[in-house]
């Protein structure tokens, strides 16, 4: 079987580096080009030192992109949407890892991104990139929009409860604690080590763009209300989402277990983590670094109808490159877990 020729547009960032790491050992892939305007001509290992002696690739310019089978876009916000027609002339299949095509309509895009979409006719044409929700659509898709990292953690944690309509859809709140790699590899005063180290910084108490994705994907029939906050903590990789939802019927923990089992049994990258013994009884992002798992736990409040759902991912993996490769495998008919079987490290 001949290998698929893939290219990565915007490969100097952390997500691009993670994609390279995963795809360079993918048995059905030949990496053709990786682009970076700032670093064109430089070896990719200069930016991604974990790839030393593993890749001889050098960065190209976007203008040098040649035709390929699948193009991954890891470009800054709005770059994919402005040039989408150009990219479609290069590859028939595109997986975009930016936020440009995640929302299905122009009104929602304007609400959450604060501006008009430059190519709004494409909104709704991309399959939203969480395989656990959209696997069947992905099998025939040519365009996939990878989901936001925080949104992925929240959506996967809550999807079974919303899908089964056992939640009061007007009352939910989620808080995510996130690592510094979510901010990318460009430094800012806020990312300067003396400022960033040891921080517990509430950076988006309301209005986070990922809220739009969460509402879109968890609305089954009636549109939900959703409240979302994000806090930076002293961690490089990882998202921990703690979601508070309220049952609209009297269910016990065993009922909730059954709902999660019904929706997720057989999912290769979902683990229900709810143990009453041991050190890590609920999901912990540090155990997931480098893996494509989403670990999900929950507890029903014995004094109310509240359920606390705890979900954890590696933001660069299940929240970005790993999930994109999972989608790539599905859209091309490959084994879904190819290149994604790393279990994570312990201790770490």
Partner 1 sequence: MLKTECPVCGADVELNDGTVKGELLECGECGTELEVINLDPLSLAEAPKEEEDWGE
Select the residue interacting with partner 1 from 120, 175, 255, 284 (CB under 8 A).
255
- Kindly indicate which of the ranges 21-29, 106-114, 156-164, 250-258 contains the residues binding partner 1, using the contact rule CB under 8 A: 250-258
Cβ of residue 48: shortest distance to partner 1, in angstroms? 37
Q: Out of 68, 74, 149, 294, which one is annotated catalytic? A: 149
Rounded to whole angstroms, the Cα distance separating 16 from 56 reads 16
170 vs 261, beta carbon nearer partner 1: 261
Q: Do residues 44 and 34 lie in contact, with contact meaning Cβ atoms separated by under 8 Å? A: yes
Q: CA nearest 8: which of 77, 70, 58?
A: 70
220 vs 257, beta carbon nearer partner 1: 257
- How big is the chain by its Cα radius of gyration, in Å? 20
CA distances from 339 to 19, 35, 170, 201, 324 (A): 10, 22, 39, 34, 11
Rounded to whole angstroms, the Cα distance separating 109 from 118 reads 11
Select the residue interacting with partner 1 from 3, 52, 77, 258 (CB under 8 A).
258
Select the residue interacting with partner 1 from 88, 106, 251, 272 (CB under 8 A).
272
- Kindly indicate which of the ranges 64-72, 209-217, 267-275, 305-313 contains the residues binding partner 1, using the contact rule CB under 8 A: 267-275
The answer to whether 346 contacts partner 1 (rule: CB under 8 A) is no
Q: Is 149 an active-site residue?
A: yes
Rounded to whole angstroms, the Cα distance separating 283 from 310 reads 6
192 vs 261, beta carbon nearer partner 1: 261
Question: Which residue bears the tokens 């929700």?
Answer: 133
The answer to whether 261 contacts partner 1 (rule: CB under 8 A) is yes
The count of other CB atoms within 10 Å of the CB of residue 19 is 29
130 vs 256, beta carbon nearer partner 1: 256
Q: Do residues 283 and 344 lie in contact, with contact meaning Cβ atoms separated by under 8 Å? A: no
**Cα-Cα-Cα-Cα dihedral of 269, 274, 277, 283, to 10°?**
60
Cβ of residue 318: shortest distance to partner 1, in angstroms? 21
- Kindly indicate which of the ranges 86-94, 118-126, 248-256, 304-312 contains the residues binding partner 1, using the contact rule CB under 8 A: 248-256
Q: How far is CA 334 from the centre of its chain?
A: 20
Rounded to whole angstroms, the Cα distance separating 289 from 293 reads 9
275 vs 301, beta carbon nearer partner 1: 275
- Kindly indicate which of the ranges 34-42, 53-61, 249-257, 283-291 contains the residues binding partner 1, using the contact rule CB under 8 A: 249-257
Select the residue interacting with partner 1 from 257, 280, 335, 341 (CB under 8 A).
257
The answer to whether 262 contacts partner 1 (rule: CB under 8 A) is no
* Residues sharing a CB contact under 8 Å with residue 207, sequence separation 6 or more, in sequence order: none
Number of residues that bind partner 1 (CB under 8 A): 12
Select the residue interacting with partner 1 from 93, 208, 209, 274 (CB under 8 A).
274
The answer to whether 116 contacts partner 1 (rule: CB under 8 A) is no
The answer to whether 299 contacts partner 1 (rule: CB under 8 A) is no
254 vs 302, beta carbon nearer partner 1: 254
Q: CA nearest 36: which of 192, 237, 185?
A: 185
Q: Do residues 179 and 233 lie in contact, with contact meaning Cβ atoms separated by under 8 Å? A: yes
265 vs 303, beta carbon nearer partner 1: 265
The answer to whether 278 contacts partner 1 (rule: CB under 8 A) is yes
The answer to whether 253 contacts partner 1 (rule: CB under 8 A) is yes
Rounded to whole angstroms, the Cα distance separating 14 from 241 reads 21
**What is the 3-class SS of 87-113, one letter each residue?**
HHCCEEEEEECCCCCCCCCHHHHHHHH
Cβ of residue 252: shortest distance to partner 1, in angstroms? 10
Q: Cite the active site residues.
A: 149
Query: Which residues sit at the interface with partner 1, rule CB under 8 A?
Result: 253-255, 257-258, 261, 272, 274-278
């Amino acid at each position: 079987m001949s290998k698929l020729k893939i290219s990565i547009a915007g490969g100097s960032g952390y997500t691009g580096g993670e994609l390279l790491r995963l795809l360079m050992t993918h048995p059905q892939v030949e990496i053709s080009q990786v682009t970076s305007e700032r670093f064109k001509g430089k070896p990719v290992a200069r930016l991604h030192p974990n790839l030393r002696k593993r890749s001889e690739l050098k960065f190209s310019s976007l203008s040098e992109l040649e035709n390929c089978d699948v193009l991954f876009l890891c470009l800054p916000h709005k770059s994919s949407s402005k040039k989408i027609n150009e990219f479609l002339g290069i590859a028939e299949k595109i997986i975009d890892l930016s936020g440009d095509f995640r929302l299905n309509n122009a009104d929602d895009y304007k609400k959450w991104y604060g501006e008009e979409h430059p190519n709004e006719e494409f909104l709704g044409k991309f399959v939203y990139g969480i395989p656990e929700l959209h696997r069947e659509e992905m099998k025939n898709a040519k365009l996939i929009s990878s989901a936001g990292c925080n949104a992925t953690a929240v959506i996967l944690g809550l999807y079974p409860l919303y899908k089964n309509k056992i939640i009061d859809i007007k009352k939910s709140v989620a808080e995510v604690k996130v690592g510094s790699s979510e901010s990318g590899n460009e430094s800012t005063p806020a990312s300067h080590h003396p400022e960033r180290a040891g921080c517990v910084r509430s950076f988006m108490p309301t209005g986070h763009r990922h809220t739009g994705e969460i509402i879109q994907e968890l609305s089954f029939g009636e549109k939900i209300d959703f409240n979302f906050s994000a806090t930076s903590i002293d961690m490089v990789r990882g998202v921990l989402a703690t979601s508070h939802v309220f049952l609209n019927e009297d269910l016990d923990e065993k009922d909730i277990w059954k709902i999660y089992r019904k929706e997720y049994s057989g999912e290769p990258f979902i683990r229900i983590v709810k143990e009453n013994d041991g050190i890590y009884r609920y999901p912990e992002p540090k155990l997931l670094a480098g893996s494509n798992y989403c670990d999900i736990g929950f507890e029903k409040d014995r004094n109310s109808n509240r359920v606390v759902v705890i979900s954890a991912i590696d933001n660069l993996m299940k929240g970005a490159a790993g999930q994109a490769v999972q989608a790539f495998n599905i859209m091309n008919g490959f084994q879904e877990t190819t290149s994604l079987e790393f279990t994570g490290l312990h201790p770490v």
